[in-house]
Amino acid sequence: MEKIKNIALVAHDNRKKDLIEWVEWNHTSLVEHKLICTGTTGKMVEQALKRKLADERHDLDITKLKSGPLGGDQQLGAMIAEGKVDIIIFLWDPMQPQPHDVDVKALLRIAVLYNIPTACNRATADFIVSSSLIGREYIPVTKDYEAYIKRDVDLG
């Protein structure tokens, strides 16, 4: 990971308000990094940061993907597999079933597979963004899954 991180920000509808409050609280740290957002979340994050930075000169670097149910979760998963995401802040709603639960599960699985720091609640997001590692280069330890692939090919 480079010093400037690629941070994905995702929130289910019932958690968008929480994410925006978190973004506003952490705006000084977040604007130093590249942000990746799904759907409506990206528009809301951009608006919130522009409000917070009204008197400051900052070029916001926000990539906006499709809405989660329309493929945004899968776009983000592909970016993880391509090494284009360093951190995920994904505030999902554990009390509300989602029509795209399978996509959400796949996204979380790929994040674990590629050893991406992932926060699913505000407390963990606070710990990640306040870590001394957020503003430095970092080389995460990754697991070599070649043995799994070879085993599956041999069994197939």
Which is nearest to 12 in space by CA: 101, 106, 116?
Answer: 101
Question: Contact 11/37 with Cβ under 8 angstroms?
Answer: no
Give the torsion sign (CA, 12, 14, 17, 18).
negative
Catalytic residue among 13, 18, 55, 73: 73
Do 63 and 34 touch, CB atoms closer than 8 A? yes
Residues 6+ apart with CB under 8 A from 18: 11, 91, 122
Reply yes or no on whether 73 is catalytic: yes
Q: How many CB atoms lie within 10 A of CB 31?
A: 18
User: 81: part of which helix (H) or strand (E)?
Assistant: helix 72-81
Q: How many CB atoms lie within 10 A of CB 134?
A: 20
What residues are labeled active site?
73
